[in-house]
Amino acid sequence: MRDSLKDRVRQKLQRQLAEDGPDPERDDTRGISVSDDLEALEMVPADDPLIEELAQRYLVF
């Protein structure tokens, strides 16, 4: 069974957070943005246009 677009976007955002990790020497605005996008993703249904927007933003195919 293929993963849904929402599942693929979620995996990409989680991977991005894990790979970037925290940077104690500066404010982590990218990490905060990715975390915010992940939170927003979890709050919408599978057919919400936000999923397409996030897929484009994070290059999820």
This prediction's pTM? 0.83
Boundaries of domain holding 40: 5-20+29-57
Residues 6+ apart with CB under 8 A from 38: 10, 13, 14, 17
CA distance 29 to 49: 24
Provide the domain count of the chain: 1
Closest by Cα among 28, 19, 44 to 53: 44
CA distance 60 to 45: 18
pLDDT in tens, the chain (61 residues): 578 999 999 999 999 999 877 666 666 677 889 999 999 999 999 999 999 999 999 999 8
